[in-house]
Amino acid sequence: LPSRSPFLWSAVLALALPTLVHAQADPTSRSWNQPVEPYRIAGNLYYVGASDIASYLITAPQGNILLDGGFAETAPLIEANVQKLGFKLEDVKILLSTHAHFDHAGGLAELKKKTGASLYAGAADADLLARGGKGDFAFGDRSLFPPVQVDHPVHDGDKVSLGGTTLVAHATPGHTRGCTSWSLQVEEGGKRYDVVIVGSTTINPGVHLAGKPSYPGIAEDYAKTFQRLKSLPCDIFLAAHASMFNGLEKAARLKQGGGGNPFVDPEGYKNFLARSEKTYGEQLAKEKTARPTRENGR
């Protein structure tokens, strides 16, 4: 840009300032938010997110469902991806959330404004979404996002249907209190596939499970979450981060073609859960031995 043009510079600043408020301050966040080609996963289910921050579109003639809104900065990428696939953002009637963190809920406010869609999210995350991430048990006030109002707080087992597709909410608390995983079925080539979209099983740095837990009951919540996720039938394994299910690599294989759908990966799902549960178990054991109680020591 020509440095002599004050008009242009003020325009640039005006564009930059709103994003600074909810900036992706760190290089990690930015690397998660690179534009990537959208693609059809199977049936009426599409990937419309960024390089790592996932967002899914489920289409029907009656209207579309959009799951997760990425960072505030991801919303325009999602809109562009929806259009690239030949759909309209305005046709989104339902917005779904996995959890109230800035990298998945940051774009929801803008997407809701642009579509007028109703937002469904875990009931225990509704307040955190309305506060724009303020007072998060793990992040405090450090990871804020544009606040967004939940229209339909969902509980374990609640169903959301549109145009023949039904998504089931599974309460998978721990990562956030209202963290929700979603399951659905898609049809492809005359076969039905069970799809699971995992909210998150990650234990963020600084979070304590035992001793002085980061929230009362967090260890039990994670334990319930693993039981629940392990009980779900899963052919197609997806999650809030593409890295959790090797999304970039699978998308490249899908594009190459050559038989089979790489997203059909029941083993990958089981392995992911086994790894996550092992990490959880190890942290819990370590925290318990690091804080001896009267029964087992001094």
Task: Using CB under 5 A, list all residues that contact Zn ion.
Answer: 101, 200
Specify the 3-state DSSP secondary structure of 143: coil
Burial (0-12, 13-18, 19+ Cβ within 10 Å), 243: middle
Beta carbon of residue 206, minimum distance to Zn ion (angstroms, whole number): 13
Nearer Cβ to Zn ion (145/269) = 145
By C-alpha distance, which of 69, 80, 73 is closest to 33?
73
The β-bridge partners of 238 are 197
Q: Which is nearer to Zn ion, 78 or 105 (CB)?
A: 105
Nearer to Zn ion, 101 or 250 (CB): 101
The residue whose two tokens read 């998945």 is 104
Q: Using DSSP, how many helices (H) and how many strands (E) does the chain show?
A: 9, 12
Shortest distance (Å) from residue 100 CB to Zn ion: 8
- What span, in angstroms and rounded, lies between the C-alpha atoms of 204 and 273? 16
Minimum gap (Å) between residue 99 Cβ and Zn ion: 5
Q: Quick one: 181 or 200, whose CB is closer to Zn ion?
A: 200
Minimum CB distance to Zn ion, residue 199 (Å): 8
* Residue 193, phi then psi, degrees to nearest 5: -120, 135
Residue nearer to Zn ion on the CB measure, 200 or 276: 200
* Residue located via tokens 């600074």: 20
Q: Which is nearer to Zn ion, 100 or 111 (CB)?
A: 100
Query: What is the layout of strands, in order, in the sheet containing 56-58?
Result: 39-42, 45-47, 56-58, 64-67, 92-96, 118-122, 152-154
Closest CB to Zn ion: residue number: 101
As measured in angstroms, the least distance from the Cβ of 166 to Zn ion is: 25
**Helix segments in the chain, DSSP class H:** 6-21, 27-32, 75-84, 102-105, 108-115, 126-130, 218-231, 247-256, 266-290
User: Least distance in Å: CB of 250 to Zn ion?
Assistant: 21
**Closest distance between Zn ion and the C-beta of residue 229, in Å?**
16
* Closer CB to Zn ion, 101 or 112, in the complex: 101
**Closest to Zn ion by CB, 136 or 188:** 136
Phi-psi region for residue 246, left (φ > 0), alpha (ψ -120 to 50) or beta? left
What values do phi and psi take at 65, rounded to 5? -115, 135
Q: How far is the CB of 90 from Zn ion (least distance, A)?
A: 28
212 close to 199: Cβ distance less than 8 angstroms:
no
Query: What tokens does 189 get?
Result: 């080539």
